A and B are shown apart, each in its own frame.
Chain A
Amino acid sequence: EAQVTQNPRYLITVTGKKLTVTCSQNMNHEYMSWYRQDPGLGLRQIYYSMNVEVTDKGDVPEGYKVSRKEKRNFPLILESPSPNQTSLYFCASSFGGRGTDTQYFGPGTRLTVL
């Protein structure tokens, strides 16, 4: 089944404790992206990747890192999480970053930083 998976689905952590949210897709997509979703603010793009070893900042990249060493994986790293990073995070992928490529979203990761 074609899908985007994220782990963990739920996470409660404390300020400053490094964490990684994994994202994997099995559709051989080139483009992958991370979003955060907050009430009243909608979905905002954190980082995106056009292909392996190619990553770019989205609209809200501060406090986040990503890497794209393999085509299928695009982990989101919070080196020193803070309470303002409490949010619902979505990973997405598409065949390409241009044109009319549909993005497929993962199920979401709800992160709480205390």
Chain B
Amino acid sequence: GESVGLHLPTLSVQEGDNSIINCAYSNSASDYFIWYKQESGKGPQFIIDIRSNMDKRQGQRVTVLLNKTVKHLSLQIAATQPGDSAVYFCAEKGRDDKIIFGKGTRLHILP
């Protein structure tokens, strides 16, 4: 069945370093992927998305990479800041419009 998973439940990164959060998906028919950030006590917030016809997309300090061959998605955050501390979710949208979220990775920023 469909599943979207993250490789690590928590990730600790030194402030100023780059963060890489990984995600694996199993549905090869999914055509759209999204990364969300959820801060404590708040709802998920859109960060960046990518369609299946792309392999890289860049935003402000964030880059998403999509490797369809191995069904892997990653979120890279450049120069990690204290405000980046949150839980990060990847999500996929299949052609039936259902959205499936991964379980999340908690990003800790070390001073």
| B100 touching A90, Cβ below 8 Å | no
- Tell me the A residues contacting B by CB distance below 8 Å: 4, 33, 35, 40-45, 48, 50, 58-59, 90, 92, 97-100, 102-108
Q: How distant is the Cα of A47 from the Cα of B42 in the complex, in angstroms? A: 21
The answer, among B91, B98, B102, for a CB contact under 8 Å with A59, is B98
B interface residue count range (under 10 / 10 to 19 / 20 to 34 / 35 or more) = 20 to 34
Q: How far is the CA of A97 from the CA of B45 in the complex (A)?
A: 17
Task: Give chain B's interface secondary structure class.
Answer: strand
CB neighbours (8 Å) of A99 from chain B are: 32
Residues of chain A contacted by B83 (CB below 8 angstroms): none
- Complex-state Cα separation, A4 to B101, whole angstroms: 20
Could you mark each residue 18-43 of chain B with 1 if its beta carbon is under 8 Å from any beta carbon of chain A, else 0?
00000000000000101000000111
Give chain B interface residues in 68-111, CB to chain A under 8 Å.
89, 91, 97-104
Provided the pairs A43-B89, A59-B100 are in contact, do residues A90 and B44 lie with their beta carbons within 8 angstroms?
yes
Chain A positions within 8 Å of B32 at CB level: 99-100
**Contact: A42 with B101, CB < 8 Å?**
yes
- Contact B51 A106, beta carbon cutoff 8 Å: no
> Within the assembled complex, what's the spacing in Å between the Cα atoms of A93 and B51?
19
Complex A-B: 8 CB contacts under 8 Å = A42-B104, A43-B44, A45-B99, A45-B100, A102-B49, A103-B44, A103-B99, A108-B41
Q: How far is the CB of B26 from chain A (nearest CB, A)?
A: 14
Closest Cβ neighbor of B87 among chain A residues: A42
> Are B43's CB and A41's CB within 8 A?
no
Q: Are B102 and A42 in contact (CB under 8 A)?
A: yes
- In the complex the two chains form, what is the Cα distance from A106 to B41 in whole Å? 11
Q: A42 is contacted by which of B42, B46, B89 (Cβ under 8 Å)?
A: B89
**With known contacts A42-B103, A48-B97, A106–B49 Cβ distance under 8 A:** no
Cβ–Cβ contact A98 & B97, under 8 A: yes
* In the complex, residue of chain B having the shortest beta-carbon distance to the beta carbon of A42: B103
